Amino acid sequence: MNLIVAWLLLYFVFAPCLVYGGDTLVVNEYLSGNQTLVSRAGTFEMGFFRPGYNKRTNTSQVITSWRSTVDPGPGLYSLQIDSIEKQYLLKWNKSVEYWTSGSWDGQKHIFALVPEMRLNYIYNFSYVDNDNESYFTYSMYNPEIISRFIIDISGQIKQLSWLDASQQWNLFWSQPQFCEVYARCGPFGACGENRLPFCNCLTAFEPRSPHNWDLSDFSGGCMRKTKLSCKAKEEKPGFILGYVPSRFFSSSENKTLLHNDESECRNFCLVDCSCYAYTFVSEQCHLWNDEGLSNVSLMLSDSNSQTFAINIKVSSSDTPTNASKINTKGFFQDFSVLCYFAALELYATEERKDKDVE
């Protein structure tokens, strides 16, 4: 039962209502389907939920990820219903939408953008929409099967089922892919779907909080190893490459200027102390300041073709000629989401390896 409490849970079958009489659970104590655990300050509640919209109170129940594996405080990712379109949305910091289920299709009994729901003999899905409320729910055709649906610290939603034989939770389904989660690796952190760990600091950057980074809390992101100093005359900054998924491209850019060509754009950024990155696409020079750049959701490579390369200004001592290891080192070529749990376990070891080669 400990295992269950270690996650922010929701289980659509039971309605929440009964509050457990405390804010602490000890070993061998457990919550039943209709109980929740409320933090002392009342800021968060744990238990089994059915996120939906209450038409009587005009409120929706939002499910939020934990902050890290050891901190159940509210993280940056949440799942909420869009009761008008009858769909679920995943949002970063309650603002940037990065995934949607698509609208409920009452004929096929699936969400439009989750075709996996179709071939299914395990879950009995339904969508309830009446005068009082609007929500999605499911039950198990075989009530012996124990299944749960969570949003975890990675910003992904996951359906897990309990395997009695191996006494483990088995990942049945998850969405979206790790690196499709907005700002997955924090400011200046770059996501690499084919590597372990998934989150990396770009060359010339290091984790802002190595402690949190080691706990898989990547939200703090990375920072420059060497601060850029515009005043030092001898400083000749260079650029390193990062990649931005095209659908997140416009959400953080600071300004766009028309310049004739790439080298003019580059030089403009090089000499402007407030410019920290540029890219030249579609005949346009896009520039970022440091604050805007910290909002950019970066990828490690352009393996996914729907990315734009951006050039990030770094100190000369950190230019790529010195260290470009991190962009070239591959780990797993083809990494399936089903291996995710193995990934978490391998993470600590691999992270140490990374530090050694730096």
Least distance to ligand NAG, CB of residue 130, Å:
4
Backbone phi, psi, residue 142, to 5°:
-105, 105
List Cβ neighbours of 231 (8 Å cut-off, separation of 6 or more): none
3-state secondary structure of 35: strand
Question: CB burial class (10 A; 0-12, 13-18, 19+) of residue 180?
Answer: buried
Interface with ligand NAG (CB under 6 A), residue from 54, 83, 209, 254: 254
Half-sphere exposure of 10 (CA within 13 A, CB side): 24
Q: Which stretch binds ligand NAG (CB under 6 A): 111-119, 158-166, 207-215, 252-260?
A: 252-260
Query: DSSP secondary-structure letter at 358?
Result: -
Using H for helix, E for strand and C for coil, what is the string for 253-317? CCEEECCCCHHHHHHHHHHCCCCCEEEEECCEEEEECHHHHHCCCEECCCCCCCEEEEEEEECHH
Least distance to ligand NAG, CB of residue 238, Å:
7
Under rule CB under 6 A, residue 96 binds ligand NAG: yes
User: Which residue from 253, 215, 246, 263 is spatially nearest to 308, judged by alpha carbons?
Assistant: 246
Q: Which two tokens stand for residue 260?
A: 């004739």
Question: Toward ligand NAG, which CB reaches closer, 269 or 300?
Answer: 269
Interface with ligand NAG (CB under 6 A), residue from 5, 13, 18, 25: 18
For ligand NAG (CB under 6 A), the number of binding residues is 29
Under rule CB under 6 A, residue 83 binds ligand NAG: no
Residues β-bridged to residue 286? 256, 279
Residues 195-214 contacting ligand NAG, CB under 6 A: none
Q: Which stretch binds ligand NAG (CB under 6 A): 26-34, 79-87, 109-117, 330-338?
A: 26-34
Under rule CB under 6 A, residue 57 binds ligand NAG: yes
Least distance to ligand NAG, CB of residue 110, Å:
14
Q: Which stretch binds ligand NAG (CB under 6 A): 5-13, 204-212, 317-325, 340-348?
A: 317-325
Under rule CB under 6 A, residue 291 binds ligand NAG: yes
Describe the strand order of the beta sheet including 59-60 as a list of residue ranges: 59-60, 52-54, 133-140, 123-129
Contact map string, positions 106 to 145, toward ligand NAG, x by CB under 6 A: ------------------x-x---xxx------x-x----
Interface with ligand NAG (CB under 6 A), residue from 108, 118, 211, 255: 255
298-299 and 189-191 as β-strands: parallel, antiparallel, unpaired? parallel
Interface with ligand NAG (CB under 6 A), residue from 54, 60, 177, 319: 319
133-140 and 123-129 as β-strands: parallel, antiparallel, unpaired? antiparallel
Residue type, 223: M
Under rule CB under 6 A, residue 289 binds ligand NAG: yes
Least distance to ligand NAG, CB of residue 285, Å:
13
Question: Toward ligand NAG, which CB reaches closer, 95 or 328?
Answer: 95
> What residues make contact with ligand NAG under the rule CB under 6 A?
18, 32-34, 57-58, 93, 95-96, 124, 126, 130-132, 139, 141, 252, 254-255, 274, 289, 291-292, 295, 316-317, 319, 321-322
